[in-house]
Each structure stands twice: as structure tokens, then as C-alpha cells.
Structure 1
Amino acid sequence: MEFTHFNENGRAHMVNVGGKDDTKRIATAVGSIKMNKETINIIKNGLIKKGDVLSVAQIGGIMGAKKTSDLIPMCHNIFLTGADIKFNVLDTEIEIEATVSTYGKTGVEMEALTAVSVTALTIYDMCKAVDKDMIIGEIKLIKKTGGKSGNYERK
């Protein structure tokens, strides 16, 4: 396997995807943010002064997916056909799942990973006044479909 983001001189470049076929592409990534049980309770009861944490984080994650090419240097600007963020609120952790889709020449793995990252960072930002011990972690791609490399599912 070779890296595609380097030219013949070993310098970084944006891969030319002009010759690729348009296909339906979907990627799902997950991550989590761990926090004190009291912080989870404050979120559940809507007592964070900045507002509804999960609603704002969901919007932040979708915005992050849309802005991925502005943040990651070699990512293509992609027209997204969909982006969704889901939460699983546990006793001391919020699990985050982002699914992003497009119909185009390049995949949306980076958009899904960015969506999870920005969602977790938004939760951190909204809750840092009450809990500075939060830990963001385990951000990973779990599934992708479409494209020349085919489907992938984490085992």
C-alpha cells in the first residue's frame, strides 16, 4: 500500500479525483467524552448555563463535517448529502456517532471523524465550567461504503 498524498518528489499534494466515478459514499465514526457523573446529571437536567448541550453539540458536529476541507489540508471540498449525530448518554460518558453521506468522487471518512471530534469538543466547551476533568477519546472510523476501495467495517 502506498500513500497517495505525496507527489513523485515526495512533496504533499491534493490527490486528483477527476477521473474517479461518482458513487454513493457513507462513513460512520464514533468517539466518546468521559466526565463526572454530576456533569452528566447537569446535562440531563438542562442546567448548563450555555444552553442545551447535546443540541448545540449536534449542530457543531454537523458544521464540523461541512467545514472539514477548511481544517484538514489535503481534504477535498465535498458536497454533503447528509450528516447526522447520535448520542448515547451513560453514567459517566457520552458516546457520539456521526454518519455522513455524499454522492461523489471521494469518500467522507474525514468528514465523519471531524464531526465526532467537533461534537466532543463542543460538549467539552459547554461543560468546562463545571468539569475540567473531561476526557475525549477513542475517535475512530467504524464503517464506510462506496468508492474504488469498496466497503470497510471495523471488526
Structure 2
Amino acid sequence: MSIGKLPHSRSRFRPLRITAACGVLALLALTACQAQQRPSAPPANSISADRAVGDIMVRFSAPPVITSEEAGRLLEPIAGPIRFVVKRPMSGGVWLVTAISASADATLDQAVATLRAAPRIELAEPDRVLKPNRTMPSGRDMPPS
């Protein structure tokens, strides 16, 4: 028998052991990866079926609204083709709300008008990107951008 080598009888079983070990590992991997549940249907009034009309900044009248759940409960009963989903709080007691609708004809102005007519809504303004109403002057100190 040579030094460092296994006897001939053991080397015959090495491929069998490796195959068995791979089989056991594959079996363990399959049991760990259980079948995923099928996706369930979205809940009624979910965002997935509607398109976003736009974002609106909303401030509620007193008493102050502290949590997004409270804000959602105040917006939930507003009827119409446009629904409102609370996105996040902003500074000064203002909440960012997304208007959504299944109707392709719904506009941001309609959503704002709906919110302004609702009870407990103190302020409703569209969250639009503001741009300067005139061009920047160009000169030696202000190069054109």
C-alpha cells in the first residue's frame, strides 16, 4: 500500500458517496423551496386597477391628524370616480395624497375640487413642479446654463 492513497476497495465507493451526498442536498434544497402561493386578487378599491391622476397637498382642519391611518379614514368616505390614497406626511401638518381613478377622463383639477368640497379639508392644492416664469439672465456673472 502506498502512502497517501486509499486502498482500492474504498476508492470504488467514493463516486457513490458523492452521488448520494448530492442527492441528499438536492432533496433538502427542494424541501426548503416549497411551492409559492399563487398571487391573490388585489383587494377591492386597490391602486393596481386605477391610474394615478396626480399628487395633492392636503391639510385637515382641527383636531390635528397625526397618523396616516387617520388621514386615510378621513379621505375614505369621499364619493366619486376619484379616490384618494395617503402617501406621506409633510411639514406643517400637510399630507401628500395621491388621487387615483379608473376613469381616463379624470383630471387633477377635478380631484382638487372634490377634496375642497369634502368636510375636514382645510387646504387642497396640487403638488406641481414649479418653474421660473422668466429666463435666467445671462452675462459675465451668470453664464448660460
Q: TM-score, normalization: structure 1?
A: 0.35
Structure with higher RCO (Cα < 8 A, 6+ apart):
1
- Compare CA radii of gyration and give the structure with the larger one: 2
Instruction: Identify, as 1 or 2, the structure richer in helix.
Output: 2
